[in-house]
Structure 1
Amino acid sequence: MPDYTILLDALEVQMGLGIHPHEQAPQRVVLHVAMTCRYDAAPEDRIDAVVDYDFLRREIHALATSRHFALQEVLCDAVAALALRDARVREVRVRSMKLDVYPDARIGCEITRRRD
């Protein structure tokens, strides 16, 4: 069966993220998630036949308000773990970008996790 890439792109959340004193208040963070999914058969035209990104979006919003993250690496790992809860997700790529740290650049991290 072919793989399908499900994208949750440019999800903007307000969250505590960073180690600097000015980052203790919530700031804008954009998350990009790409999930490579494999199904036993070609999916039928029903949402229960595929990985539903509504779940991931909802869980990311909950994660963003659950605590302060010091490191983007830890945030990306947490988002990847959420995506990998569904056994049909074979690989997930997560990128986070802090939008407002510098006036001339965005600061980010990207990870890839694969199911063994």
Structure 2
Amino acid sequence: MAEFTTLIEDMAVAMRLGIHPHEAAPQRVLLSVWLTVDYPGVPADTIEAVLDYDRVHDGIRALADEGFALQETLVERVAALCLADARVRRVRVRSVKADVYPDARVGCEIVRGR
């Protein structure tokens, strides 16, 4: 068994996220995803043999288009997207509102596994 970690770090999306009136407009959100992926052995050097991170990237973009009230909901939905691939054993998802405060970033993180 070969265990790999596939990463998408600090993916910037503009989306509606939040409950406050000033968050009604899209804001910059940074998303990072760490996927622990199990393969039966060292995968062949083809995209068909491994997790295609384009699917995760595009799925995150589609979720961002939906918008959410809570970061907790966003990270849960991204985790579910990742776990749809049976080879993913564990996923950690972090969202960060990059510009909500002038002196701090605000985020949420979830870890899910099988």
Question: Shared fold (TM-score greater than 0.5)?
Answer: yes
| Paired residues, number | 114
Q: How far apart, in 2, do the equivalents of 1:46 and 1:108 lie?
A: 35
**1: CA distance between counterparts of 2:35 and 2:27?**
25
Within the alignment, does 1:87 sit opposite 2:86 as a pair?
yes
Partner letter of residue 32 of structure 1? S
Any stretches of 5+ residues in structure 1 without a counterpart? none
Task: Determine the C-alpha separation between the residues in 1 that align with 2:47 and 2:64.
Answer: 26
**1:8 match:** 8
Instruction: Provide the identity percentage.
Output: 60
How far is the alpha carbon of 1:2 from its aligned partner? 2.8
Which residue in 2 is equivalent to 1:105?
A: 104
Contact 2:15/2:65 (<8 A) preserved: yes
Aligned to 1:25, the other structure's residue is in SS state coil
Q: Are the aligned partners of 2:2 and 2:40 in contact in 1 as well (CA < 8 Å)? A: no
Which whole-Å CA distance do the structure 1 matches of 2:47 and 2:41 have between them?
14
Runs of 4+ that moved beyond 6 A: none
Deviations 1:26-74 (A, max 9, x none): 00000000000001121010011010100000011011012x3111010
Q: List alignment gaps of at least 5 residues for structure 2.
A: none
Q: What is the rounded CA distance, in whole Å, between the counterparts of 2:113 and 2:27 in structure 1? A: 29
TM-score by length of 1: 0.96
With normalisation by structure 2, the TM-score equals 0.98
Distance in 2 between the 1:54 and 1:10 partners? 15
- Tell me, yes or no, if the aligned pair for 2:2 and 2:41 is still in contact at 8 Å: no
Across the aligned residues of Structure 1 and Structure 2, the Cα RMSD in angstroms comes to 0.7
